[in-house]
Amino acid sequence: MEADIRNQARNLVLNLLDTNTPTDEELREAVNDILPVLRRRHGADLDADELVRLLQAEFNIFQADAVSLDSSDGHLEWFGEQRESIEWRFWNRYVRYLQEEVRLPPLVLQRLDSTTQRILEKLEDPSRPGPWDRRGMVVGQVQSGKTGNYTGLICRAVDAGYRLVIVLAGMHNSLRSQTQLRLDEGFLGIDTQLRQIADADDGFTAAALGVGRLVGGHRLATASLTTSAEHGDFGIAKAKSAGIVPGDYPVLLVVKKNTTILNNLREWLLNVSGLGDPKRIREFPVFVIDDEADNASINTKAEDDDPAKVNRAIRALLWSFDRRAYIGYTATPFANIYIDPDVEHDGLGPDLFPRSFIEYLRAPSNYFGPARLFGTDPDESPLPLYREVDDSEAWLPDRHKNGHVPG
């Protein structure tokens, strides 16, 4: 109970402050303003000094700006003119969730805001007539917030008008399920094991999850053709029974990098939305996020050979759309940057080289990785995070005679 009240106090203070870099005096003033409110509401008597110290620790966590390389070939600027007219419903809901429930430090949240906006700007206007093709890559440290970044980017992309989002989530059921759950919480707002369409009817409340549980939050229409169950991946029979048609409202799919699943997904999409001969999807664009893009997505075959099966399936899926955006997320981009940018195959289009942009995300200052643990400067002492045990020498010397009895 006390932890809940302390979290309420934190959120009230953040709402009072009009800056992400408050002085100690501004923090203390805001804390003193909200304490009487909590006392009347809960009868709680929080320690003002302790609350100030907790908030100071949060505001001391920062994240440097991302570094990027980009190309404007084939790209039409669009975001600057439309930014003010876009209703950021999904994005604002996600920001509130990160602030109130995840308790993301304010300066890190501010950096997420600017980074996702900049990446979205490098994609194409979803309403622009086709054909067009944008392919990029986002690089970040292991466990440093890449999933949170592309969840935010999905929210922004849907607000901007993208209606079909496909996330390629690894090779195994466990990782796919975990990724789906994160997107259930941050984007859909529903537990997809209970319900696959989020709307405003009475059945929503029982399945609400993450952003869907925010007090006073908006119920935004979305759907998912996959679930967070261990075997909740895409299937044609399940898709037909769900009655969900891509393009009407935002639809999410979180699928494994599995040749059969990717080919079935492509076949189903062409059957329900394809036009012409050969069939292509022209009415709406696709936005594909490739998580761990260096794993399984790379074409490991020789240039003159048929592409590797998963690489072929991903490219065929993209090539089924006149308008397509693809972003690979990875911590190890070395294989991706050596993809031949000039290779094309009939019916598959170009390979997955990030020709449009590469964005490098800096880790937040509280990120605990190998550089923090072991250091990068040989003249600096490593952090005292382990203790060398050397009391065994007397009991069992490193050099001892055959037949030595420890003791």
Which bin fits 145, alpha (ψ -120 to 50), beta or left (φ > 0)?
left
CA 113 remoteness from chain centre: 13
Q: Residue 2's pLDDT is what? A: 61
Q: Residue 183's pLDDT is what? A: 98
- Helix, coil or strand: residue 159: helix
Q: Residue 3's pLDDT is what? A: 67
pLDDT along the chain (407 residues), means of 10: 70 76 81 79 75 81 85 95 95 95 89 96 95 96 88 98 97 96 96 86 74 86 95 94 87 98 97 90 97 93 85 97 97 92 89 96 79 72 72 84 85
Give the CA distances from residue 302 to residues 18, 305, 339, in Å, rounded to whole numbers and listed in that order: 57, 5, 12
CA distance 192 to 134: 30
- Could you tell me how many residues make up the chain? 407
Q: Residue 335's pLDDT is what? A: 93
Q: Residue 338's pLDDT is what? A: 92
CA distance 169 to 174: 10
For 85, residues 6+ apart whose C-beta sits below 8 A from its C-beta are none
pTM: 0.84
CA distance 164 to 31: 44
Give the CA distances from residue 232 to residues 123, 142, 349, in Å, rounded to whole numbers and listed in that order: 29, 26, 30
Name the phi and psi angles at 76, rounded to 5: -110, 125
